[in-house]
Structure 1
């Protein structure tokens, strides 16, 4: 009977992770085991939009890379529409764009990487336009609940200044923790976005 279990002590809790790469991000473990792999490549050869690479590190409070972090992103396509039934905008979908990806930090460098396209602006609540952005979710050993944040683009300063979510952050200098730096490498566009879990330069996280 349930009441007879009252004498038992509560099972000890623990933080999330470490994560089993074979099951969650098999491409990093050298396996190809799913029909639809959950990888870090969101765009195909025919995807509309500007091809970009997003890369960065997940850093702890001492600035040390978290080498077993798992990162997921989801984003709108180049027209600003999500590949999800809840997005009922009249903008066209891109059949060659998945819009969602998952990867982990490289064990040797702590670097995570996504290959995608730059998203378009999205219409938010009350028809307010949101600047182009990428939604990010981070989990790792030592984190009890996954952390939600956003990545904006450094070359979208005007749109960022008007973004309703960025403007919710009262400390203006803290908004910079959500802006990725645009650079070029080998003729390809790369946005660098480091995620700091705690400390003076902690990334802004959202309660979603």
Structure 2
């Protein structure tokens, strides 16, 4: 390996910077379903750093089953999605105040190998500066009896489960149906999965 020439230095390694969103964000990204889809609602919240400060340049991705519990993917053994214009995937950049939202419909429960079911949920990936890899979590819905038997949710320390359950949005915040804040670190840190 040759030595650098006098006066030149090696470029330092960096984590993901604020420039990365240009390749990840697109106009219809926050629409898992089109506006006007029956049963559609918005789920959104704020991404916070470890000090509780909103993160203005994060990207939140969601992946979910349709209301019948099927994924818009050719490898889903239950067959094709039957919902018109259902994409199953959403991507939203946070705004200057750290807020994001996606327009979606509630997914159906998913079968579990060996029997049983997973409660309806959204799979979430989070990207932002300062991180070398994405963070992965889930959003569960507060009004689901199946949460009590979901194999993933029940494997979490009971004191931390609430970090994976959205809140019903307060009246007057329509079209929001649910609020889900993401805390990267700190006292209220969201549970993230090591995949």
Q: TM-score, normalised by structure 1?
A: 0.82
1:40 paired residue among 30, 38, 42: 30
What secondary structure is seen at the aligned counterpart in 1 of 2:18?
coil
1:126 paired residue among 109, 114, 119: 114
Superposition map of 1:14-33 within 5 A = 14-27=14-27
Structure 2 Cα separation of the partners of residues 57 and 45 of structure 1? 22
CA contact (8 A) 1:50 1:117 kept: yes
Q: How many aligned positions are there?
A: 190
Residues 45, 57 of structure 1: alpha-carbon distance in 2 compared, 3 angstrom cutoff: closer
Task: Give the equivalent residue in structure 2 for 1:155.
Answer: 143
Partner residue in 2 for 1:180? 166
What residue number does 1:32 align with? none
User: Is 1:199 paired with 2:193?
Assistant: no
Aligned-pair CA distance for 1:7: 6.2
Shift of 1:99: 0.6
Do 2:123 and 2:138's aligned partners in 1 also have CA atoms closer than 8 Å?
Answer: yes
Match of 1:139 among 127, 151, 158: 127
Residues 1:92 and 1:103: Cα distance change in structure 2 (over 3 Å): closer
Task: Structure 2: state its 5+ residue gaps.
Answer: none
In structure 1, the residue matched to 2:153 is 166
Structure 1, unaligned runs of 5 or more: 28-36
Q: Judging by fraction of residues, say which structure has more helix.
A: 1
Q: What CA distance in whole angstroms lies between the structure 2 residues aligned with 1:46 and 1:191?
A: 17
TM-score by length of 2: 0.87
